[in-house]
A and B are shown apart, each in its own frame.
Chain A
C-alpha cells in the first residue's frame, strides 16, 4: 500500500540555483498539495493541484511554481534559490480514510541552500 512518496529525501543546493522536487500521491487520488516547513514552525501552504489544475496558491513569490501530470504526480520548482528557502518541503494527498478533508503527507524533502 504505497502512501505519498517524495523524492529526493535530501538535497543541497547553492544560492541562485534551481531545484525540482517530486511527489506521487496515494494511488488514484487526484489532489496534491505542497507545504513548506521551516525549522521550528508549522507547515505553510504553497500550492494545491487537482486534476492538473491549480486550485490554490499560498503567499509565496513567483520563484515557486508547480505542475501536476496526467498520472497525478507533481513537481514543485523553485528558481533563484535563497538561503531562506532552506526547509522541509512536504507533499500531501487526499486519503481514502478521511475523504476530502484529511491529508496524508509524505516524509518530505529536506532542502538546504548554501
Chain B
C-alpha cells in the first residue's frame, strides 16, 4: 500500500531561524511526484514546493527547499529564515504517475509554530 508518514505532529522554530519537517513514504512505483502543502487557519491548502522523482536535483522555491532521498523514500522540507506567516499545518503528499491513478495521498500533517 502507498502511504505517507509525517512523524512530527508539531514543531517550533524561532523567527529568522531554520526548521526541517520530515516526511517518509512507501511505494513500489518508480515515477511519482512529491509535494509539500501549507494549510494556514484560513483552511486553504497552498502548494509550497514540488519534486519530480526522476529528478535528482532537490527542488527550491525561495526560502523553501527539499531534501529528496529516493532510495530512503524520504522527503523533508527545510524552511530558512522562518517568518511569522510560515505558521501553519504542513502536509506532505505523494502522487503516483501510474496510468489511471489520479489521487494524491497525504500525510497527517505537522503543525509549525513560529516564535517571535
Closest to B32 in A: A101
Shortest A11–chain B CB gap in Å is 14
Tell whether, in the assembled complex, residue B107 and residue A56 are in contact, meaning their CB atoms are under 8 Å apart: no
With an 8 Å Cβ cutoff, the count of chain A residues facing the other chain is 26
Tell whether, in the assembled complex, residue B35 and residue A108 are in contact, meaning their CB atoms are under 8 Å apart: no
Q: List CB contacts (< 8 Å) of B48-66 with chain A.
A: 50, 52
Tell whether, in the assembled complex, residue A45 and residue B103 are in contact, meaning their CB atoms are under 8 Å apart: yes
Tell whether, in the assembled complex, residue A108 and residue B109 are in contact, meaning their CB atoms are under 8 Å apart: no
The contact size tier of chain B is 20 to 34
Chain B residue contacts of A101, Cβ below 8 A: 33, 50, 52, 95
Chain B residue contacts of A56, Cβ below 8 A: 100-103
11 new A-B contacts, CB < 8 A, other than A42-B109, A101-B95, A110-B43, are A33-B104, A43-B45, A44-B106, A45-B104, A56-B100, A56-B101, A58-B103, A92-B45, A102-B50, A103-B45, A107-B44
